[in-house]
């Protein structure tokens, strides 16, 4: 908790990527979370295209600290026959409340046909989907303008908010047009004024704090919110209230 606000980190990973210092040691994650008052972290495993392998690892990780971690389902259109059955398993049996997608690990922009069975599934269930977004062709936030009106029961979350100014502008434009588009803040780019821009142009009710932990420490990432020139009310919404609404908790 930070000043009475439950803090939810909407972007984290299970899995190891040691060459970049990423180790999913629960004690490391919890230590960093506790140091700044992060109550809950949403985690997903994106390194296995079958979905099942990573989702099981996520479920196992979450089960050790179920009051601190929430698992998201991951699937890939590179194994299309596995997508919907694995989503059914991850949502219904593992209890995951949302979906993570990673377009750079596929050949397709995320508005193209191979992805749509996932969106139809999420539309049926009214789920949120968090997408890696950036300025490369597969991951452009402008695709939300195709998807958001077509799947109005899905909440689309632009992870990293596109990372760079051109893509960030696309994410903000989509959020301005559609109420089911959200802007998530983690990025190795900590450009001055970005949080202020998201709040002012996208709306404080659309901004979600995320860290990308354990690839990155959640403390400087939450520091972006705390040290931004935005109101305390906007900070509370970004730090947890918006995520709680999306997660239904």
Partner 1 sequence: MSSLNFSPRVPVIDANVCVGNHHTGPSPCQSPAQLLEEMDFHGVRRAVIYHAQGEQISPTDGNMYLEDWLDEDGRLIPQWTVAPVDTSMTQIAELHGQGRVTSARLHDCQSAGLPFLPWGYDDLLSFLTEAGIPLWIPLMEVDVRDLVTTLKAYPDLHTVLVGAHYTHALVVRGLLEASPRAVLELSRYEPIGEVEALVDRFGADRFIYGSWYPRYAMGPILFYLHHTRMSEEELAQICAGNTERLLGLTEGT
Residues that bind partner 1 (CB under 8 A): 2-3, 5, 19-23, 28-29, 31-32, 35-37, 188-194, 213-224, 226-229, 232, 235-236
Smaller CB separation from partner 1, 155 or 187 = 187
Smaller CB separation from partner 1, 179 or 223 = 223
Three-class SS state of 8? strand
Smallest gap from residue 111 Cβ to partner 1 (A): 30
Smallest gap from residue 90 Cβ to partner 1 (A): 25
Smallest gap from residue 190 Cβ to partner 1 (A): 4
DSSP letters spanning 114-139: GGHHHHHHHHHHT-EEEEE--SSGGG
Smallest gap from residue 212 Cβ to partner 1 (A): 9
Smaller CB separation from partner 1, 37 or 109 = 37
| C-alpha span between 186 and 220 (Å, rounded) | 10
H runs (alpha helix) in 73-212: 80-88, 116-125, 144-150, 165-177, 194-197
* 155-159 vs 128-132, strand pairing mode: parallel
At a CB cut-off of 8 Å and minimum separation 6, what does 216 contact? 186, 188
Smaller CB separation from partner 1, 99 or 222 = 222
Rg (C-alpha) for the chain, rounded Å, is: 16
Smallest gap from residue 103 Cβ to partner 1 (A): 21
Smallest gap from residue 218 Cβ to partner 1 (A): 8
Smaller CB separation from partner 1, 22 or 244 = 22
Contact 22, 16 (CB under 8 A): yes
| C-alpha span between 133 and 110 (Å, rounded) | 10
Contact 126, 90 (CB under 8 A): no
Query: Phi/psi at 110 (nearest 5 deg)?
Result: -80, 5
Smaller CB separation from partner 1, 29 or 91 = 29
């Amino acid at each position: 908790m930070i000043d009475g606000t439950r803090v939810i980190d909407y972007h984290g990973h299970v899995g190891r990527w040691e060459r970049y210092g990423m180790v999913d040691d629960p004690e490391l994650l919890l230590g960093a979370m506790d140091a700044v008052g992060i109550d809950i972290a949403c985690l997903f495993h994106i390194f296995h295209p079958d979905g099942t392998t990573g989702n099981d690892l996520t479920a196992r990780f979450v089960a050790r600290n179920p009051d601190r971690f929430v698992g998201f389902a991951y699937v890939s259109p590179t194994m299309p026959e596995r997508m919907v059955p694995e989503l059914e398993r991850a949502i219904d049996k593992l209890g995951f409340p949302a979906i993570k997608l990673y377009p750079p690990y596929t050949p397709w922009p995320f508005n193209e046909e191979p992805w749509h069975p996932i969106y139809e599934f999420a539309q049926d269930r009214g789920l949120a989907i968090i997408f890696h977004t950036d300025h490369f062709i597969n991951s452009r936030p402008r695709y939300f303008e195709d998807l958001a009106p077509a799947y109005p029961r899905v909440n689309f979350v632009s992870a990293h908010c596109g990372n760079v100014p051109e893509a960030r502008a696309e994410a903000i434009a989509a959020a301005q047009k559609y109420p089911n588009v959200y802007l998530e803040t983690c990025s190795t780019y900590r450009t001055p004024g970005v949080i202020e821009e998201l709040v002012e142009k996208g709306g404080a009710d659309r901004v979600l704090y995320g860290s990308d932990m354990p690839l990155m420490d959640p403390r400087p990432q939450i520091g972006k919110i705390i040290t931004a020139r935005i109101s305390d009310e906007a900070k509370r919404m970004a730090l947890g209230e918006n995520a709680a609404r999306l997660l239904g908790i």
